[in-house]
Chains A and B, each alone.
Chain A
Amino acid sequence: MLGRTRFITQRASTLPLVSFSNKLSSDVSEPKKGKLSSFLSERTGETGAGVLALGLVATGVSKEMIVLDADVIAGSSLFICTALMAKKASPAIVKALDNRAKAIHNTMSEGKQIQLAAYESAIAEEKEAAASLEAASEIFDIKRELVQIELETEYRRRIKQVHQEVKKRLDYQVELENAKKAFIRDHIINWLEKEVVSSITAEQEEANINQCIANLSLLAPQ
Chain B
Amino acid sequence: SSGINAEWPLRPGLSRTAGRITTTSVAPTLACFNGAVPRAAQLHTTRTIRDETTSEGALMAAAEGMRVIPTRSQSAKEMLYLFVQDLCKQNIGEEGYKYFPFALGLFTTIGACNVLNLLPYVEMPTQIIGCTVAMSATIIGGVTIKCIQKHKLDFFSFFFPAGAPLGLAPLLVPVEMISFFSRAISLGVRLGANLTAGHMIMHIIADFGAQLTASGSVLGPVTCLALLPITVLEMAVAMIQAYVFSMLTTMYIRDTIELH
Contact = CB atoms under 8 A, between A and B. Distances in A.
B162 interface: no
Given A68-B213, A78-B231, A73 B72 contact: no
Interface string A85-102: 100000000100110110
B257 interface: no
B120 A72 contact: yes
Interface residues of B, number: 27
Contact of A74 (B69, B231, B232): B231
A71 interface: yes
B128 interface: no
B210 interface: yes
Given A100-B79, A105-B69, A73 B119 contact: no
A154 B119 CA distance: 105
Interface string B61-83: 00000011111100110010000
Interface string B38-77: 0000000000000000000000000000011111100110
B118 A17 contact: no
A86 B209 CA distance: 25
B207 interface: yes
A70 interface: yes
A117 interface: no
A16 to B, nearest CB: 10
Contacts of B210: 68-70, 72-73
Given A18-B67, A81-B235, A74 B75 contact: no
Given A70-B210, A73-B206, A74-B227, A81 B232 contact: yes
Nearest to A72: B120
B76 to A, nearest CB: 6
Given A77-B231, A81-B235, A85-B232, A97 B119 contact: no
A77 B207 CA distance: 13
Contact of A17 (B69, B207, B232): B69
B22 to A, nearest CB: 30
A81 B214 CA distance: 23
A80 B228 contact: yes
A1 interface: no
B2 to A, nearest CB: 33
Contacts of A76: 224
B227 A77 contact: yes
Interface string A40-84: 000000000000000000000000000011111111111011000
Given A71-B121, A74-B206, A98-B72, 18 more contacts: A68-B214, A70-B207, A71-B203, A71-B206, A73-B224, A74-B202, A77-B227, A77-B228, A78-B120, A78-B231, A80-B228, A81-B231, A97-B76, A101-B69, A101-B72, A101-B75, A104-B68, A105-B69
Interface of B: 67-72, 75-76, 79, 118-121, 202-203, 206-207, 209-210, 213-214, 224, 227-228, 231-232, 235
